[in-house]
Amino acid sequence: QVQLVQSGAEVKKPGASVKVSCKASDYTFTSSGISWVRQAPGQGLEWVGWISAYNGNTNYAQKLQGRVTMTTDTSTSTAYMDLRSLRSDDTAVYYCARDDIVPTLNFHYWGQGTLVTVSS
């Protein structure tokens, strides 16, 4: 059964960085991509970006360009999302989802979510 297991909750101060991990299992990691979606408390879904686990190509949401970096470690089938210069409005649950080798919105499998709280 395909599984995506994310790292635990984080509390960060404004201006800091956070790195969330997403470990995949039970499928060929390099034949897929990983998308990240976030959800602020009580709000809707917001796409953060996508990375190909095949070749490392990325596509980031315009509003986060310059602050977000997505990477993968194919040796451990793990994807990472690094968000810098954190602001209070970055407080959200961050989800990873299995995507294709090109970005789609067909997320059949999701991680359990990681709450990132930005507070002074």
Residues that bind another protein (CB under 8 A): 35, 37, 44-47, 50, 59, 61-62, 95, 103-108, 110-113
- Smallest distance, another protein to C-beta of residue 100, A: 11
Q: CB burial class (10 A; 0-12, 13-18, 19+) of residue 61?
A: middle
For the CB of residue 120, give the shortest distance to another protein in the complex, in Å: 27
Residue 65 or 120: the one with the smaller Cβ distance to another protein is: 65
Laid out side by side, the sheet with 18-25 consists of 3-6, 18-25, 78-83, 68-73
Q: CB of 88: closest distance to another protein in angstroms?
A: 19
Q: Which residues contact 63 (CB under 8 A, 6 or more apart)?
A: none
Which residue's CB is nearer to another protein, number 25 or number 74?
25
CA distance 106 to 99: 7
Shorter beta-carbon distance to another protein: residue 75 or 104: 104
